[in-house]
Amino acid sequence: MKYDYLIVGSGLYGAVFAHEAAAKGKKVLVIDKRPNIAGNVYTEKVEGINVHKYGAHIFHTNLKHVWDYVTRFAEFNRFTNSPVANFNGELYSLPFNMYTFNKMWGVVTPEEAQAKIDEQRAEIKGEPQNLEEQAISLVGRDIYEKLIKGYTEKQWGRDCTELPPFIIKRLPVRLTFDNNYFNALYQGIPVGGYTKMVENMLDGIEVRLNVDYLENKEELDKLADKVLYTGAIDAYFGYKLGNLEYRSVRFENELLDKPNFQGNAAVNYTDRETPWTRIIEHKWFEFGKDENGNDLPKTVISREYSSEWKLGDEPYYPVNDEKNSKLYEEYKKLAEGEKNVIFGGRLGEYKYYDMDAVIDSALKKCEEEL
Ligand code: UDP
């Protein structure tokens, strides 16, 4: 059987492309090396709780067309991300807002908070050159040291002075009591889990799991006219220009025989000494209830440990610093020479994409391609 497209990877990029291609009457085959679909948004039910097996995913977007798109495949609940920071047992509200400033400095009004920030950010002159300077110039040194430095250095395994400023620009600073982490018009978690949402996208499409493309490339390539590859771009080329750096994540999951461990979906451990970066308590993504609205008696937590990626690990976060961005550009040139292969997604484009951006990018690619 001959397919129009062989889609390598059943994460969001692959699933959207597969859905759109099939809708246009193309014959598509989706393969994935894992035993499950949905890539890193995969969720698995444990004791009635949808566990985000490859890390917490909170859908948020300002793009109406992307929201309209995803809500075709799942109903979304009204979950709003408001992480708590734990710095050596001191708790702070995130992202940085009036609750945070009040706890940090005892300030009560927005003017007082602004004055404190202005006083502290004055130490940075000119355009911030790295994440540390960017952070201090956004919120001042106190917040940088208690809520940013330790977390960031654990997450990226690099000194804040060696990281690009843009990473921290993801974090809003607000002189209001709004502790909604994302500046997004639309936000929520798909009811029933992400796996079900991706299953719906792939409805009626042939999917083969436990198939490693790169190990069987020659044979698999014969099956289709074109390949959409969403794996790591450097792996595709056998790392021949050297490997791009990634951060990997390891999760220690625990089922606890109690209803409430930390009272929130996400608690970030922002000190340097605690070895994990955060703990996710999955049930709070769905308000602690099962699908029938009953309270769940148990809870599942995941401690998240960040590590440098090495061969054989799952890559999670591209390290978009200067060195890696340059190397990526070289790989991109090679990719442009592969006429029948499209590279897409977080790993295929070596880009710290959020879910909505991945979907937007996949939809744009579909318009171009299909
Ligand atoms: N960050 C931080 N303190 C926090 C949470 C985030 O300094 O408590 C910074 C840090 O630099 C991190 C970036 O914000 O790398 C993005 O963090 P986030 O947790 O949003 O990343 P995710 O893993 O959710 O994509």
Please tell me which residue in 304, 349, 356, 360 is annotated as part of the active site: 304
269 ligand 1 Cβ < 6 A? no
Write out pLDDT tens, residues 32-80: 999 999 999 999 999 999 999 999 999 999 999 999 999 999 999 999 9
Answer whether 134's CB lies under 8 Å from 165's CB: yes
- Give residue 321's pLDDT band: very low, low, confident or very high (50, 70, 90): confident
Q: How far is the CA of 152 from the centre of ligand 1 (A)?
A: 7
Higher pLDDT among residues 235 and 167, named by residue? 235
Write out pLDDT tens, residues 145-168: 999 999 999 999 999 999 989 888
Measured distance CA(187)–CA(62) in Å, rounded: 9
pLDDT of residue 182: 92
CATH superfamily of 3-81+185-246+319-369: NAD(P)-binding Rossmann-like Domain (3.40.50.720)
pLDDT of residue 169: 81
Residue 352 designated active-site: yes
316 ligand 1 Cβ < 6 A? no
3-class DSSP state of 344:
coil
Q: How far is the CA of 353 from the centre of ligand 1 (A)?
A: 14
187-197: buried (b, 16+ CB within 10 Å) or exposed (e) per residue? bbbbebbbbbb
Name the nearest CA neighbour of 163 among 130, 186, 192, 137.
130
Measured distance CA(260)–CA(118) in Å, rounded: 39
Residue 118 designated active-site: no
135 ligand 1 Cβ < 6 A? no
Answer whether 6's CB lies under 8 Å from 228's CB: yes
270 ligand 1 Cβ < 6 A? yes
Measured distance CA(241)–CA(321) in Å, rounded: 17
Measured distance CA(32)–CA(62) in Å, rounded: 30
CA 67 to chain centre: 17
Shortest-distance Cα residue to atom 11 of ligand 1: 152
Residue 250 designated active-site: no
Residue 354 designated active-site: yes
- Kindly state the average pLDDT of the residues 16-31: 98
For the chain, the structural domain boundaries read 3-81+185-246+319-369, 95-167
- Give residue 1's pLDDT band: very low, low, confident or very high (50, 70, 90): low
pLDDT of residue 228: 98
φ, ψ of residue 304 in degrees (nearest 5): -110, 125
pLDDT of residue 322: 87
3-class DSSP state of 88:
coil
Please tell me which residue in 72, 170, 208, 272 is annotated as part of the active site: 170
Answer whether 277's CB lies under 8 Å from 68's CB: no
Write out pLDDT tens, residues 108-132: 999 999 999 999 999 999 999 999 9
147 ligand 1 Cβ < 6 A? yes
Answer whether 271's CB lies under 8 Å from 232's CB: no
3-class DSSP state of 355:
helix
30 ligand 1 Cβ < 6 A? no
Of all residues in the chain, the percent with pLDDT exceeding 70 is 100
317 ligand 1 Cβ < 6 A? no
Q: How far is the CA of 215 from the centre of ligand 1 (A)?
A: 35
pLDDT of residue 183: 86
Measured distance CA(317)–CA(364) in Å, rounded: 23
Substitution candidate for ligand 1 out of 148, 250, 269, 346 with most atoms within 8 A of CB? 148
R_g of the chain, CA atoms, integer Å: 22
Name the nearest CA neighbour of 178 among 82, 288, 104, 306.
82
Name the nearest CA neighbour of 148 among 132, 162, 129.
132
3-class DSSP state of 228:
strand
- Looking only at the bridges linking them, the beta strands covering 299-308 and 278-281 are antiparallel
CA distances from 342 to 96, 228, 368 (A): 39, 5, 11
Answer whether 232's CB lies under 8 Å from 319's CB: no
